[in-house]
Amino acid sequence: MAEEKTEIMEQPVTVLRGVGPAKRAALAKMGIETVGDAVRLWPRAYQNRGDIRSLDQIAARCREGENGPFSAILTVSSEPQTRYIRKGMNITTVKAFDETGAVTVTWFNQPYVAGRIHTGDTCRFFGRFEWNERYRRLSLNSPLTEPWSEEIALPDIVPVYPVTQGLTQRFMTDLTKNALDKAGEELAETLPTDALEELSLPTYAWAVRQIHRPESVEAMENAKRRLVFEELWLMFLSMAQTHAASKRKSGALRIRDADLAPFLAALPFSLTGAQERCVSEIVADMGGETLMNRILTGDVGSGKTAVAAAAAYAAARNGMRSFVMAPTEILATQHAADFERLFAPLGIRTALLTGSTKKKERDGILRDLRGDPAEGISVLIGTHALLTEDVIADSLGLCVIDEQHRFGVMQRAALFEKSRNVHCLVMSATPIPRTLTLAAYGMIDVSRIDELPAGRQKIDTFIVNESYRERLNAFIQKQADEGHQTYVVCPAIEENPDAEGSEGEEMANLPLVDVMDEGRPPMKNARQTADELASALPGLGIGFVHGRLKPAEKERVMRAFADGELDVLVSTTVIEVGVNVPNATLMIVENAERFGLSQLHQLRGRVGRGRAKSYFILVSDSRSPEAQDRLKALKNTTDGFEIAEYDLEIRGPGDFFNETGAIRQHGQMNFRLAAACRDPAMIERASFYAKRAAEEDPNLEKPENRRLASRLAVFTRKTEKTQN
Ligand code: ADP
Ligand code: MG
C-alpha cells in the first residue's frame, strides 16, 4: 500500500536523474536534500520571454530609450566568431535577422556559445538591445538563446531559481521538472475544502506545477496566492500547536503576593503608563492557572528591561528564581549591572553567568542555585551559557528572553526544554502590527509598550543619495572631531548575495523581469564600505563587524566601539541588538531601500541615547517611488507601531515573522512566499482556519489529518534548519 513505503517526497534528491555526489553536495548547501525539497524550491523570479517582437519594433523602442529585455525570433546568418580583446576578455559575435531587420549579437566571455549556434539556426533570443544612431544599427548583448521551431512551443514565463556554486539555471529547471514528475499524486490537498472555496484557491497540485512552469502570468500569480496561503496556514498551525501545549495546566509556580511597592520605590524613575499596564498583564499571567507565554514588544528605549525586572521581582517575592537571557555577552553584562544596582538594596541576590565566567565562580553560582531561593541567587542573568545542561536551578519560575530571535535553533530548543514548566516572557523591539496580533491572538499573548519615557530627544532623519558621499564623509569626520561616534550599516557583508553563483551562467548577464521583487540598485557591502571609509578618512579608527565573525571577535570589536576606541563602526545589522553607546550620534544606513521599516526604526534607536544631538541618515539610490515613500514614512514617524503597520501593508509579514521571537522563526526556504504577502485578509483567514483545525484535532492525529501532519512536520523541520 502507498501509505507504507517511504513517501517519494522524503526520498533523497539522488533518486532524481542527473544528481550525483557533487550536485547532491551543492544542493545540500541550499537545504535541498529530498525530492520534496526540490519540489518546494520556489523560483525567486521569472522572465517573461513570451512577448515576441519584430526587430523594427524593437529598434523603435530602443530609439525611445527602452532597451528591453525583449524577445525576438531570429535566424542566424553568420558563423560565430570569437575575438580576444585582451587578457581575460573575449567577445563572440554572430549576425541574425528577421523579416524586418538585422542585428549584431555579442557575447562577452562566453566563447562556448560558438559551439551551440550555427548559420541557419532559428532561435528565440532574449536580452537587452541597443540602437546606435550614428550607424543606424541595432545590437544585442549577451542574450539567452533557445532553439525555436513551429512544433515545440517554448514556455513564455521562465522561472529563475536561487542557485549556488556548481548549480546552473538549466540544471535547476531539470531538477524541479524531474522532482515534479516523481512527486505525482503526493501533491495532495491539505487545505480544508471550505477554505479553498471561500478564497477561490486552486488545488495544491495545480499550484505547485504552475509556480514552476506557469502557463501565463495570471496562472503564476494565482499559484503564488495559493502557496502563500499554504505557508500562512502551516505557520499558524504550528503556532497554535505550540501554544496549546504551553497553555496546558501545569505545575508551574504561581504568584500569590503581587505587591510591587518596594520595587517601584527602588526604581530611579516612575514607570510610564504603558510599562505599568504591561507589568500588570505579566503579573496576572504569573498568578493564573496556566503558564505565561507572553511577548513584550516596544521600541528600542521604551524600557522593556524595567518591566522584566518587575516580573523578576514579583517572582522573587513569591519564592521563584528567574533566568534572564540576552543574546550577547555585552548585553548580558549590561543587564546584570542594571539588575544588581536595582535588586541589591532590596535584598535580592543577582549573578551573571556567561561563557567567560571563570570555573571557580561558575561552580559557586551552580551551587547557589540549589535550595531555597531566599538564601541563594534569585535572578541569574546571562547568555546562552544559562542553557548548559548542568545549570540547574531549584524553584525556577520565570524565564525572560531578550531578543529571542537572535538565538540559534539549538539554543531555542534547549531553552524550550529548560522552560517547560516555567513562565516565559520574550522581549522584542520589533513591534508587531495590530493585524498580526489579531491573527495570532490566542496563540501567543502580546504586551505592548507604546509610549516612550518622557524627555527623549528627537533624532533628525535624512534621506540622501550617492551624490552626498563626500558630504557624508565630512559629517562623519565632524562627529569624530567633536568626540562623537558613527555607525555605518550595510545590508551585506561582502559578496552580492543576489548574484548568480555559477560560472558560465548565462542568466547572470541578464536583468530579471522580476515579478516577485522590484528592481533595486546594487548592494553596498560592508567590507568595501569599511575600506572606502578608511581611505577617505585616514585619521579615524574604523571597526568592521558582521554576523559571520566568531562571537568573541564580534564582542571585541563592539566593546572597542562602546569604549570609544573606535570612531566608526561599519557593520551589517548585527548591531541591531548592540550595546548602549550614548556617545554615538550618527548612523548612516547604506542601501536603505533594502531594509524593512521596522528594522530601520530599530536601528535609529541606537543613536540619540546621550545628550548630544543625533542624526540618522538613509542613503538610497532607489528611484522606485514606493521605496522613496517608505523611507519618507520613516522620516515622518517616530511611532514604531505605526511604522510596523505601514511596513506590513507594503512589504508583507516576512519581517515580523523573521525578526520577531514571538511568532516562531521561519527561514527563507519555506517562508519565502508568504513573507511578501500584502493581503491582511489572507493572513486573518489563514489564522482562522488554522485555529479551527487545531481546536478540532490539536495533535493532528485523526486519519484525515495524516497528510497535513506530515506536511507540517516537514515545514517546521525545514524552517528550523534554515535558521543557521
Ligand atoms: P529597551 O526597551 O530598548 O530594552 P531599556 O530597558 O534599555 O529599553 O531602557 C532604556 C533606558 O530608559 C534605560 O536607561 C532605562 O533606565 C530608561 N527608562 C526605562 N523606563 C523609564 C521610565 N519609565 N522613565 C525614565 N527612564 C526610563
Ligand atoms: Mg533592551
Q: Is residue 583 lining ligand 1, measured as CB closer than 6 Å?
A: no
Q: Look up residue 10 and give its three cell numbers.
A: 522524503
Q: Is residue 582 lining ligand 1, measured as CB closer than 6 Å?
A: no
Task: Categorize the per-residue pLDDT at 724 as very low, low, confident or very high, splitting at 50, 70 and 90.
Answer: very low
Q: In angstroms, how far is CA 68 from the centroid of its own chain? A: 31
User: Which carries the bigger pLDDT value, residue 94 or residue 42?
Assistant: 94
What are all long-range contacts of 697-704, with beta carbons under 8 Å and residues at least 24 apart? 698/241, 698/244, 699/241, 700/237, 700/241
CA distance 687 to 696: 14
Q: Whose CA is nearest to atom 20 of ligand 1?
A: 303
C-alpha 272 to ligand 1 mean position (Å): 10
Supply the pTM of this predicted model. 0.65
Number of other residues whose CB lies within 10 A of the CB of residue 480: 19
Q: Is residue 302 lining ligand 1, measured as CB closer than 6 Å?
A: yes
**Angle 217-247/680-696 helices, nearest 10 degrees?**
50
C-alpha 385 to ligand 2 mean position (Å): 19
C-alpha 272 to ligand 2 mean position (Å): 16
Q: Give, in order, the Cα–Cα distances in Å from 203 to each of 83, 195, 227, 414, 671.
A: 52, 11, 10, 38, 19
Q: Is residue 602 lining ligand 1, measured as CB closer than 6 Å?
A: no
CA distance 35 to 182: 8
Strand-strand pairing, 396-402 and 157-160? unpaired
Domain annotation for the chain: domains and CATH numbers:
50-154 (2.40.50.140), 261-289+302-428 (3.40.50.300), 459-512+519-637 (3.40.50.300)
Cβ contact 557:543 at 8 Å? yes
Nearest-atom index, ligand 1, CA of 455: 25
Task: Categorize the per-residue pLDDT at 484 as very low, low, confident or very high, splitting at 50, 70 and 90.
Answer: very high
Q: Look at residue 157 in the predicted model and tell me its pLDDT.
A: 86
Q: Whose CA is nearest to atom 11 of ligand 1?
A: 301
Nearest-atom index, ligand 1, CA of 306: 6
Give the model confidence (pLDDT) of 188-240 as tens digits: 899 999 999 999 999 999 999 999 999 988 898 899 889 989 988 887 887 77
Q: Look at residue 660 in the predicted model and tell me its pLDDT.
A: 38
User: Which carries the bigger pLDDT value, residue 174 or residue 721?
Assistant: 174
Cβ contact 158:49 at 8 Å? yes
Q: Look up residue 215 and give its three cell numbers.
A: 502557463
Q: Look at residue 500 in the predicted model and tell me its pLDDT.
A: 33
Nearest-atom index, ligand 1, CA of 300: 3
Task: Categorize the per-residue pLDDT at 124 as very low, low, confident or very high, splitting at 50, 70 and 90.
Answer: very high
> Mean of the pLDDT values across residues 299-318?
93
Q: Identify which of 269, 381, 579 to mutate to test ligand 1's pocket (most ligand atoms within 8 A of the CB).
A: 269
pLDDT at 437 over 70: no
Q: Is residue 428 lining ligand 1, measured as CB closer than 6 Å?
A: no
C-alpha 382 to ligand 2 mean position (Å): 14
Please tell me what DSSP assigns to residue 686: H
Cβ contact 327:400 at 8 Å? no
C-alpha 22 to ligand 1 mean position (Å): 53
> Mean of the pLDDT values across residues 382-396?
89
Q: Identify which of 278, 302, 430 to mutate to test ligand 1's pocket (most ligand atoms within 8 A of the CB).
A: 302
> Which sign does the torsion angle of CA 48, 49, 55, 56 carry?
negative
CA distance 529 to 506: 29
CA distance 59 to 138: 7
C-alpha 448 to ligand 1 mean position (Å): 14
Q: How many CA within 13 A on the CB side of residue 155?
A: 17
